[in-house]
Structure 1
């Protein structure tokens, strides 16, 4: 009996020392990612792709595809890094999936840490089971957002609904909320996006003719909102929101190597100059850069120069310059990028004192060959806004071609 007990104990000890069994290899394909915000779960679609030992990931929000090439995947961990946003996901293997943390870097380098999980083979977004009934939210809506302190702002929502699947965006005077995707269940609307910077969750209920809901961004931002269908809803003219208060528009900032560049430099003499106030942290600025990079190559030989004044979350010059370089590399930008200062709008406004304020990133200043400011456009409607993006591109092109022809 004693020998049996000893053998049993030895077997248990050996079993305990042997560690966990083999872990199944990570499979490429469709995954469902979930971020946990104070307002609930924010789902997004995640595609993992493998080419030999190399991995890449694609974040999917409706029609949007955000490619992530700095990816590490093995049987124990997964890491996704988006250097242009200074964003990363670090996760450990958890059964068949992964669990870990999304780290977002905000103003002044403050970090938000958001719980993250991913599960393989799950292609649904919010609803695993198709609902038996659902309301119709298709169309254009006039929206009022209310912050927790009671202050309000106006916006427009445009939704396209197919069955119970909804895609769309919110347009605001400072830019759009990019590609939102989700579903309707009964009278409940759910929308989300995660594009590497925005971590947005919208939930709403249709009561009569009015949508009432909540908007969560990351770990710290919350607004409630109400919306009513209004085919004629309009926002303020984006060319009237920022005004020139000094006849002379000028600047002098360092490039990423620390060399000072001024609008008075010979490279800008007799040129049409488009000055874009932007930031690598700003998704709308990414949309603008994706348009401006090829636009510059198209019109450079006709006398166009573009300068991006980059207002960054990281105030240390070296750290800010690193972010600007990552932004430049992402879009293969050939025009001038300068490190202009803090992303805080009040401080940016003090830096750009020839403007009455810095109301939004991006803000685009059009300057003719004689150095005169001819137009200031606030915000940017990106590809997620459909026809509004097409109209913006046409308007920018018309302005530049007119100035080049003078």
Structure 2
């Protein structure tokens, strides 16, 4: 990618094993306003995003900005020469020292068996994401695009639908896949090139591509520490994905689920418990490491509060990246507090790779989140793979309407 594409930061790297080096007290520190930040991957490619700093009741609060999404971050420690900014839910943090322009340091992501560190820089009082100017462009990509993501070795292909909205050179939108969506993407078009990025505390992504009429070619998706995926797209207003209710099934001979897992208080919860008798029950398969699961959890929390007194129950089955019950409980408790979840969250004791061991009635399991609807007779009625969150616009509102209509129907069935 040409060096002129992005504004460069001339800073030093702080490793994850050394917290800070002294660089002098900054007069502005973590000042209020909009900042421009970049995270640099192993290949040296910079992923830009913006965040806003506010003072709230004498404390610093940060909102990470991606299109219409504002992710609140309030676990912040500021000293005279440095800051530690802990991201909610996904067990990652920024560790950075103040410079005359802003911050320089690392984004540290704590995984199940190791931590990964990537260079982080941020400049205060900078509102643009990719380019300072926002001119009219001849290229127009508003609409729906049939898309393909292909691994660099050519072995894995993922079909997707791109949905974009363009104003002058600015672009927002997302890609939908059978396992979920890429959430809120934001970027620009410049000289026939498309640039989109997102950072949400878990995912760090940069999409680039060349716009060639009704095609986008030579696409690259840079994600995480080192992942690179090729992609292309063609304008197609009729592009659709396979039915999300057809991808995950039960094994022959099974009509329901059987499980017994502890909740956060250690009480064993089973689908056969009296509280679930003659109820419509929603089983949510989730992980606190999964951004799409966070979108579904936000929806499901409000849904449960509206439908609980009408005969609907929800059970969350958490499959973490570790089978350690203590680590899992700590992560799930953070999730519960973040979304004010009032339905039970169960510690399955299985990692996200072992769903079929924990729930052997399933024929296959394709994605987190997956949602299973149980009717009032205790039978599996529908299984929905993935979740199209608010970043997908009409797909999200259509899903909510369809989901609530179906649940309302099941409530009327005797």
TM-score, scaled to structure 1? 0.91
Distance 2:272 2:134 in 1: 61
Distance 1:198 1:116 in 2: 14
Matched residues, number: 386
Structure 1 stretches lacking a partner, 5+ long: 1-18
Whether the 8 Å CA contact 2:264–2:333 is kept in 1: the answer is yes
1:179-212 per-position Cα deviation (integer Å, ceiling 9, x unaligned): 0000000111000001111211101112343212
Query: Which residue in the other structure is 1:75 paired with?
Result: 80
Name which of structure 1's ranges 140-149 and 87-96 shifts more when overlaid on structure 2: 87-96
375, 386, 395: which one aligns with 2:393 = 386
Distance 1:224 1:22 in 2: 43
Q: Does 1:403 align with 2:407?
A: no
Q: Does 1:223 align with 2:229?
A: yes
TM-score, scaled to structure 2? 0.89
Whether the 8 Å CA contact 1:112–1:218 is kept in 2: the answer is no
Relative to 1, partners in 2 of residues 1:22 and 1:318: Cα closer, same or farther, differing over 3 Å?
A: closer
1:195-246 per-position Cα deviation (integer Å, ceiling 9, x unaligned): 1112111011123432121111111322100110011111000010111112
Instruction: State the secondary structure of the residue aligned to 2:327.
Output: helix
Q: After the TM superposition, which residues 88-167 of structure 1 pair with which residues of structure 2 at under 5 Å, given as runs? A: 88-106=93-111, 108-130=112-134, 133=137, 135-150=139-154, 151-167=156-172
188, 191, 199: which one aligns with 1:194 = 199
Relative to 1, partners in 2 of residues 1:220 and 1:352: Cα closer, same or farther, differing over 3 Å?
A: farther
Instruction: State the secondary structure of the residue aligned to 2:384.
Output: strand
Query: Which residue in the other structure is 1:275 paired with?
Result: 283
Q: Does 1:244 align with 2:221?
A: no
Instruction: State the secondary structure of the residue aligned to 2:237.
Output: coil
Query: Which residue in the other structure is 1:12 paired with?
Result: none
Query: Which residue in the other structure is 2:6 paired with?
Result: none
Deviation of 1:20 (Å): 7.7
Query: Which residue in the other structure is 2:339 paired with?
Result: 331
Instruction: State the secondary structure of the residue aligned to 2:83.
Output: strand
Query: Which residue in the other structure is 2:384 paired with?
Result: 377
Whether the 8 Å CA contact 1:87–1:104 is kept in 2: the answer is yes
Relative to 1, partners in 2 of residues 1:153 and 1:52: Cα closer, same or farther, differing over 3 Å?
A: closer
Relative to 1, partners in 2 of residues 1:341 and 1:228: Cα closer, same or farther, differing over 3 Å?
A: farther
Q: Over the residues paired in the alignment, what is the CA RMSD in angstroms? A: 1.8
Structure 1 or 2, whichever has the larger Rg, is 1
Structure 2 stretches lacking a partner, 5+ long: 1-21
Relative to 1, partners in 2 of residues 1:395 and 1:199: Cα closer, same or farther, differing over 3 Å?
A: same
1:45-98 per-position Cα deviation (integer Å, ceiling 9, x unaligned): 111111354111000011111111111234311221124221211111122311
Distance 1:209 1:189 in 2: 13
Query: Which residue in the other structure is 1:24 paired with?
Result: 27
Deviation of 1:31 (Å): 0.7
Whether the 8 Å CA contact 1:60–1:66 is kept in 2: the answer is yes
1:142-195 per-position Cα deviation (integer Å, ceiling 9, x unaligned): 001101231211000011110000000000000110000000001110000011
Deviation of 1:340 (Å): 1.7
Q: Does 1:172 align with 2:177?
A: yes
Distance 1:153 1:304 in 2: 35
Whether the 8 Å CA contact 2:144–2:164 is kept in 1: the answer is yes
Name which of structure 1's ranges 310-319 and 56-65 shifts more when overlaid on structure 2: 310-319
Deviation of 1:278 (Å): 0.6
Distance 1:380 1:277 in 2: 11
Q: Does 1:322 align with 2:330?
A: yes
1:24-52 per-position Cα deviation (integer Å, ceiling 9, x unaligned): 13221111111112451111111111135
The structure that is helix-richer by fraction is: 1
Whether the 8 Å CA contact 1:25–1:75 is kept in 2: the answer is no
